[in-house]
Chain A
């Protein structure tokens, strides 16, 4: 039938342009890298703008000589500890806020006070209280994670449908049972986006904070690695450090967050 073949042809033609999102992203990445390479070659000043290939070879060298992995490890260790503490505190604060009006007022006031405050602005105080070392870094990372996550959890709680709340209370659930059996799972879509946001904020804050550190250089993280290489005008290494931060971000998004969301909210049909 001619009509059918026609439609078939139209369909397959559209399919060429409509690639899977992952492939589309890969093509954009390649174009960006090519553009970078072209710019750098035209500008021809590796002190200011190393080319893509120079950056990649610097990155490979730094990985192979073990410096970047150990720096990354140091950063990730602080990051994970701060992230975990931040999540724990956010859970406690939102749970209390869900159960008491005073708790809710406390949450609303504290998030509106601290959420706009850049976590890095607390570093001087952290240094004063905890001294130079990972305790200060953890302190600012916790601050970076805690408030945006608390805000997302709270917004997620408030968006739980009235019928679902009543169904939960109908079963006799109250107190922490109600919060953990009904509210947290029902608010998971918001909580997941809060976790993503918190992760990004934690990274930013940590890299910025590490750049301030001079003393514990031997055990410094990626931020310190970037800072030192800038001071030594090893610009390709600076770019390699930045690339490493970006790659870790992409990896965590692809491996952790999208897996988490696929296993939960997508499977439950909760994602809008």
Chain B
């Protein structure tokens, strides 16, 4: 796949290197290892999906890349610069709908991000925001406050905000998990189109295999407790068309890995799945 047919310089197309990262939480019963010695890289324009059951530390890993969690060991580097804290070069889209500022309109939310993160003037921010709000199909709702929008529309605003800021990499933390199946499918298609259009380097977290196959170019399957890399798959280009024949086998493979918690292929597990 050609990364970034319409990319804007180095924006949206960075390389991410996660090497030997271990994440630990302080729980009441003592420290809990959420992620154990995980390494991976994402190349320019790639869309890597972290896939796994709950408790595999995929969201923690994403938050560590976002700079919200400090690894106890290992290192995260973005374009050869170590990640030390949160910043607009790694824009996140969260699962929760309350990621938008409720006191700002749809346009206000995007403009605010542009002014603070890209330091645009009010007029420039207005122009860029209008463009991105149009690209996610919300032009009619530019002056609406977030609480009047549906869940899917709120996620669209968050996605527009993330793209508008032109981060080096997009971080998506199960952005569609709280949506109904119908809007989820449509949002996946729309996100995919935006990613392909901009050539954005993306790290996407999900627990849904079909979503992983649909939006990703590569899938990293994590096992749970603690999170470790169980398997890695490349996704054929055809995966964007749902129901392509070769996907069925890939889906079965991944399912087997997730249910077995180890090893790539196991005939008995496939029979059960």
Binding site for B on A (CB under 8 A): 161, 163-164, 166-167, 169-173, 177, 181-182, 185-186, 188, 264, 267-270
Q: B147 contacts A173, CB within 8 Å?
A: no
Docked Cα-Cα span, A264 to B103, in Å, equals 7
Docked Cα-Cα span, A167 to B165, in Å, equals 13
Docked Cα-Cα span, A163 to B97, in Å, equals 9
Determine whether B233 belongs to the interface, using a CB cutoff of 8 Å to chain A: no
Determine whether B74 belongs to the interface, using a CB cutoff of 8 Å to chain A: no
Chain B residues in 8 Å Cβ range of A167: 92, 94, 99-101
| A170, A177, A188: the one within 8 Å of B103 (CB) | A188
Residue of A nearest to B117 (CB): A171
Q: A171 contacts B88, CB within 8 Å?
A: yes
Docked Cα-Cα span, A185 to B99, in Å, equals 14
Q: B99 contacts A172, CB within 8 Å?
A: no
Q: How far is the CB of B233 from chain A (nearest CB, A)?
A: 29
Q: A172 contacts B88, CB within 8 Å?
A: yes
| B90, B102, B112, B165: the one within 8 Å of A270 (CB) | B102
Residue of A nearest to B167 (CB): A170
Q: B87 contacts A172, CB within 8 Å?
A: yes
Q: B86 contacts A181, CB within 8 Å?
A: no
Pick from A167, A169, A182, A264 the residue with the most CB of B within 10 Å. Answer: A167
Contacts A166-B92, A181-B116; A270 near B103 (Cβ below 8 A): yes
Determine whether B141 belongs to the interface, using a CB cutoff of 8 Å to chain A: no
- Give the contacts of B83-118 with A (CB-CB under 8 A): 86-88, 90-92, 94, 96, 98-103, 112-113, 116-117
Q: A170 contacts B91, CB within 8 Å?
A: yes
Docked Cα-Cα span, A167 to B91, in Å, equals 9
- Give the contacts of B108-156 with A (CB-CB under 8 A): 112-113, 116-117, 145-148
Q: A268 contacts B147, CB within 8 Å?
A: yes
Docked Cα-Cα span, A270 to B146, in Å, equals 10
Pick from A169, A188, A264 the residue with the most CB of B within 10 Å. Answer: A169
Q: How far is the CB of B117 from chain A (nearest CB, A)?
A: 5
3 nearest A-B pairs in the assembled complex, by CB-CB distance: A269-B147, A163-B96, A169-B86
Binding site for A on B (CB under 8 A): 66, 68, 86-88, 90-92, 94, 96, 98-103, 112-113, 116-117, 145-148, 165
Chain A residues in 8 Å Cβ range of B102: 186, 268-270
Q: How far is the CB of B179 from chain A (nearest CB, A)?
A: 16
| B86, B96, B148: the one within 8 Å of A172 (CB) | B86
Residue of B nearest to A184 (CB): B103
Q: A161 contacts B96, CB within 8 Å?
A: yes
| B66, B116, B117, B148: the one within 8 Å of A269 (CB) | B148
Docked Cα-Cα span, A5 to B116, in Å, equals 58
Contacts A171-B113, A181-B116, A188-B103; A166 near B145 (Cβ below 8 A): no
Docked Cα-Cα span, A269 to B103, in Å, equals 8
Docked Cα-Cα span, A99 to B104, in Å, equals 24
Docked Cα-Cα span, A171 to B164, in Å, equals 12
Q: A182 contacts B88, CB within 8 Å?
A: no
Q: How far is the CB of B256 from chain A (nearest CB, A)?
A: 34
Residue of B nearest to A181 (CB): B116
Chain B residues in 8 Å Cβ range of A171: 88, 112-113, 116-117, 165
Q: B147 contacts A166, CB within 8 Å?
A: no
Q: A163 contacts B101, CB within 8 Å?
A: no
Docked Cα-Cα span, A166 to B87, in Å, equals 10
Q: How far is the CB of B61 from chain A (nearest CB, A)?
A: 15
Residue of A nearest to B162 (CB): A170
| B92, B100, B147, B148: the one within 8 Å of A170 (CB) | B92
Chain B residues in 8 Å Cβ range of A166: 66, 68, 86, 92, 94, 99
Pick from B96, B103, B145 the residue with the most CB of A within 10 Å. Answer: B103
Q: A269 contacts B145, CB within 8 Å?
A: yes
Q: How far is the CB of A150 from chain B (nearest CB, A)?
A: 22
Q: B98 contacts A163, CB within 8 Å?
A: yes
Q: B116 contacts A177, CB within 8 Å?
A: yes
A and B contact pairs by CB, cutoff 8 A, 8 listed: A164-B101, A166-B94, A167-B92, A170-B86, A172-B87, A173-B116, A186-B103, A267-B145
Chain A residues in 8 Å Cβ range of B146: 269
Residue of B nearest to A188 (CB): B103
Docked Cα-Cα span, A110 to B117, in Å, equals 36
Docked Cα-Cα span, A188 to B103, in Å, equals 10
Q: How far is the CB of B249 from chain A (nearest CB, A)?
A: 37
Chain A residues in 8 Å Cβ range of B94: 163, 166-167
Chain A residues in 8 Å Cβ range of B99: 163-164, 166-167
Q: A172 contacts B103, CB within 8 Å?
A: no
Q: B92 contacts A172, CB within 8 Å?
A: no
Q: B116 contacts A170, CB within 8 Å?
A: no
Residue of B nearest to A182 (CB): B101
**A166-B99, A185-B103 provided; 19 other pairs, C-beta below 8 A?**
A161-B96, A167-B92, A167-B94, A170-B66, A170-B86, A170-B90, A171-B88, A171-B112, A171-B165, A172-B86, A172-B88, A172-B116, A172-B117, A182-B101, A185-B101, A264-B103, A267-B145, A268-B102, A270-B102
